[in-house]
Amino acid sequence: MRKASLSKGRSFTRFLPLVIIMALFIGLLPSIASAADRGAWAPSVAYAANDTVTYGGSTYKVVQPHTSLTGWEPPNVPALWQLVPGGGGDQQAPSAPANLRSTAVTSSTISLAWNASTDNVGVTGYDVYQGSSLVGSVSGNTLAFIHTSLTADTTYSYTVKAKDAAGNVSAASGVLSVKTSASGGGTDTQAPTMPTNLAVTSVTTSSVSLSWTASTDNVGVTGYNVYQGTTQVMTVTGTTATVTGLAAGTAYTFKVAAKDAAGNMSPQSASVTGTTQSTGGGGGQLPKHVLTGYWHNFINGSSNLRLSDVPSQYDIIVLAFADMDPAKPGGVTFNVDSSLSSALGGYTNANLISDIQAKHAQGKKVIISVGGEKGNVNLGSASPNVANFVDSMYSIITTYGLDGVDIDLENGMNVANLTNAVKQLQQRVGSGFILTMAPQTIDMQSSSTSYMQLYNNLKDITTVINVQYYNSGCMLGRDGKCYSQGTVDFLTALSDLSLQWVAPSQLGIGVPAVSGAAGGGYVSPAVVNNALSCLANGTSCGSYKPVAKYPDIRGAMTWSINWDKTSNYSFANTVKPFLVSLP
């Protein structure tokens, strides 16, 4: 996942304009076959205008004749491919849950279980019906449900349906009829087993969320009592709970006990301690217009920096990058790179943690990035990949005291699984969660790209999308004209295009700090300020005039802080003061 070149974008994009021109020229030669359904997309195939292919479960039509290359998959190059409405997307429903059964019965409860459904993408949940009435829903990883508050000596009929992230719902399971007991089970004197694996899953300034492994019982577990210290604070039926109303920056100890319908109580679990976040979270509130920069956890010819050396102009500092964990599909790891540590005279994880705390004291946000030029994360499968990603990323965030995540996946993504993973991670971290994205310019050429799908799924928790306006070649602006990178028109015309779909308060301009930081697209910091002024105020524009003024434009990003140091932080010293001056 280390940078083989000086570029943050994919290295082949330096030659993309020439390659595209050559491929389009070849594609314009007389085609042997007329427009047709060409089956699954493949590289090194000559496609004619209006040909159709399938890719990722969707159907696409050729916009311009061309010979395909690896990296030109339909979702990645909207200039060549158009999504066929109604011809794609996940339309396959999960299989019906099988083996619906009762695992325990009391006079007032019925415990149900079933076998997992399968799906082409992934099952996200199950709905439980009593007759035609929905009586409960559980996550895709839960294969059991307890129906409570029932009448004694009464028969109830149940079915279960599976669902996926696209809203597809399976057929119903077979019908199961179960009769509650005639009495309260007064002869039941056996207590449930003690809950195990009690853990803190997330904290906020006023709450601690818990999870544990379910207890078992000879008849059936009906609930769990949650204790804060020695005081019972709540009762739940599942194996998770969120204790609210807590003080900020305070440590609390919790235990859990299981109970059954006869009133038998299990021993209390082992205790666990959770500490609520300090008021305002790490770094406090971000300003209206922010400056973002990447910090290298590797050596690549730029300056080597301790995080404490990052200048105060940077509001969001992005650690680049988390590494894919080969032992856990979907999992990631992060440690201070050994070569960087040596170059800095022995920079350790503990030193980095201390420096992050100091940045928080300065009011800064520090997050970790996944991806980069060659990096990726394995979320091609829903299970166990999503859980591994969430667990490992949350562990990194809590270990280092980070504020969130940056998505810089330049080699494709599974939108549904990534959406699910980020939402789960945000729920664990809490309201102070920072989410940034760094799409390449080509990823923002239409409203249907993978990044735009991800943004639409997560825009309620997105802090800023910093588009990489470099290593791009000529790209289409909002007016349909092709603008060359490295100009104020490129920055404004391409930003104006994205502002059709992204809120101004969530869009930033991403550029190289110095010419050596990228293969192409460098502009001086003064040009970055001109582009920001053009977008925010309608002044200092080049030949391109945005269709509106965007005074809420979020800010700017640079690859990278390390490269910026090689010019004595010319980028930060020039752009940050201008951001402060914006309305």
Q: Which residue of the set 260, 410, 489, 564 is catalytic?
A: 410
Structure-token match 């990823």, residue found = 443
Q: Spell out the residues 6+ positions from residue 223 whose beta carbon is closer than 8 angstroms to its own.
A: 148, 235, 236, 237, 258, 259
Number of H helices, E strands in the chain: 10, 31
Catalytic site includes residue 410: yes
Three-state DSSP at 208 gives strand
Please state the φ and ψ torsions of residue 26, each to the nearest 5 degrees: -60, -40
Structure-token match 């179960």, residue found = 178
Torsion angle, alpha carbons of 154, 159, 160, 166, to 10 = -130
Cα–Cα distance for residue pair 71/364, rounded to 1 Å: 36
CA atoms within 13 A on the CB side of 262: 19
Q: Are 526 and 486 in contact (CB under 8 A)?
A: no
**Is the CA virtual torsion 441, 442, 443, 444 positive or negative?**
positive
Single out the residue of 473, 469, 537 nearest to residue 504, CA to CA.
537
Q: Spell out the residues 6+ positions from residue 208 whose beta carbon is closer than 8 angstroms to its own.
A: 200, 202, 242, 243, 246, 252, 254, 274, 276
Give 556's DSSP letter: E
Q: How many CB atoms lie within 10 A of CB 510?
A: 26
Structure-token match 């577990």, residue found = 221
What is the 3 state secondary structure string of 145-180? Answer: EEECCCCCCCEEEEEEEEEECCCCECCCCCCEEEEC
For residue 146 the two structure tokens come to: 């307890």
Residue type, 539: T
Considering just the CA atoms, what is the radius of gyration of the chain in Å? 27
Single out the residue of 14, 564, 37 nearest to residue 309, CA to CA.
564
Three-state DSSP at 302 gives coil
Query: 36, exposed or middle or buried, with CB in 10 Å at 0-12, 13-18, 19+?
Result: exposed
Q: Starting from the edge strand earliest in sequence, which strands make up the sheet with 155-164, in order? A: 133-139, 123-130, 155-164, 176-179
Q: Are 257 and 212 in contact (CB under 8 A)?
A: no
409-414 CB contacts, 8 Å cutoff, 24+ apart: 409/370, 409/371, 409/376, 409/377, 410/9, 410/10, 410/371, 410/372, 410/373, 410/440, 411/10, 411/371, 411/374, 411/376, 412/73, 412/75, 412/76, 412/376, 412/450, 413/379, 413/450, 413/454, 414/379, 414/380
Three-state DSSP at 7 gives coil
Active site residues per annotation: 410
